[in-house]
Amino acid sequence: MKRLKVTVPHFDNSSLIEAYSKTLIRWCMNPHMQDMKALLYMLPRIWKVEDRVARADLGLGRFLFDFHPEEDIMQVLKM
């Protein structure tokens, strides 16, 4: 079977990197046993950033938190 080679043209992705620099993407190890909506609701409350974080269920047990300001993500990563 011949493998196809995909070539992506070079582009400046610095704005994408900056846009996602305060984003945390995680996954649940047992999504069939966890209520993902409850995780998305409760984790920011536990971290005390519920009013300053955007959250999204990415499916397949993965979820995203987008923090503003940067100090919030730094605080969460230290926990």
pLDDT in tens, 13-71: 999 898 888 999 988 888 888 888 888 999 999 999 989 999 999 988 899 999 988 89
In this predicted structure, what is the pLDDT of residue 66?
A: 94
In this predicted structure, what is the pLDDT of residue 53?
A: 93
Q: How far apart are CA 52 and CA 61, in angstroms?
A: 23
- Residue 28 located in a structural domain: yes
Q: How far apart are CA 18 and CA 41, in angstroms?
A: 26
Number of domains in the chain: 1
- Residue 11 located in a structural domain: no
- Residue 4 located in a structural domain: no
pTM of the predicted model, to two decimals? 0.73
